[in-house]
Chain A
Amino acid sequence: MRLLRRALVALSLAGVVAGALRLRGRGGTPPQHGGWQPVEFPPEQ
């Protein structure tokens, strides 16, 4: 019973930490420039 209680407490704490990181974390704006861009080769003739 004590083991189950400890597991539930650990899971709850993990959830709280994950939730805080998810809501308060600073992920920033996704990249908007650079990377791979489509390129076209207009025929010469």
Chain B
Amino acid sequence: MTTTAGSAVSVVGGGVVAERLRRVTANRHQLVGGDVGAGVVVLAMAGPHAATAADLVRAGAHVVSTSGSVEDVRDLLDLDDTARGTGATLVVGAAVSPGLSGLLARELVGRLAGCDELHISRHGTAGPACAREHHHALRGWAMGWRDGGWVERPAGSGRELCWFPEPVGARDCYRGELSDPMLLHRSFPQVERITARVSATRRDWFTARLPMLSPPHREGGIGALRVEARGWDSDGARVTHIVGIAELIGTAAAAVAAAFVDHVTSGTAPAGVVTTSDADLPTAFLLSAVARGGVRMQSFTGIPHTG
């Protein structure tokens, strides 16, 4: 894959992810201030992206959105026909979860002869907008796909101890109002169970239905992502593959968005909505681009033992 040098890219937003993304893309693309004249516009601002994305794809610009809110992602997916009509590519959920979760899920499913379960867990946040989204994710309703139908359970229920790569380690994770199941089911309709969980402390869990008690940090600490795919191998034996990261969420989100900017500017991305778990994406290429962005991916190889 070759990247078009000097493609005009605009990054909208002033948060951690947007700032880091500008730094990452500045040496590969021509960055422009506003979205006028930009061939690719990355939406990395707080709040819904769908309305802005609709205007941009109608104008023929390619859009990469980092939004993860369920409603916003649903609205972005609805722009498929509009984007196809103008020949624009609209990448939905190009961050960590959703985003890297989809890339890793596609990679893991490819290692299996058949996959019947996908489970996503994440820990930590990037900037204040991400922290507010995390706070919101612990109330409302958590979507999950189970045996051919959507199951909605109260967010904050279903506590499970999830192990992430060090230094994050084990964290209590709960069902959350997250868009990963919706995006993963779109790409893997044959998978029977899809869940997404988010880590929370007892205080997060207890205060989820209240306004945030203290203003969020400018940037959260080291966050983590864990993707688990269960299925069977060519002999029919049950197999579970687990891959994760432990990284600053803002850095990882910027690396994923930058990888998709490269992909879109290469001219090989199809028109219409693209999600990170799509089968026709060059997944390994995108994952290696994310790794070059400073994200170290790790595979869980079994319970540690001696000898």
Give residues in A with beta carbon < 8 Å to B. Answer: 28-45
Contact = CB atoms under 8 A, between A and B. Distances in A.
Contacts of B302: 33-35
B243 interface: yes
Given A33-B306, A34-B305, A39 B288 contact: no
A41 B304 contact: no
B284 interface: yes
B102 to A, nearest CB: 14
Contacts of A40: 288, 291, 297
B298 A38 contact: yes
A39 B299 contact: yes
A44 B284 contact: yes
Nearest to A39: B299
Interface of B: 1, 107, 165-166, 243-244, 282-285, 287-289, 291, 296-307
A39 B285 contact: no
Contacts of B298: 36-39
Contacts of A38: 296-299
A43 B282 CA distance: 8
Q: Which has the most chain A C-beta neighbours within 10 Å: B165, B166, B302, B304?
A: B304
A32 B304 CA distance: 7
B279 to A, nearest CB: 13
Given A40-B288, A45-B1, A32 B307 contact: yes
Given A42-B284, A44-B282, A45-B285, A36 B306 contact: no
A45 B282 contact: yes
B304 A34 contact: yes
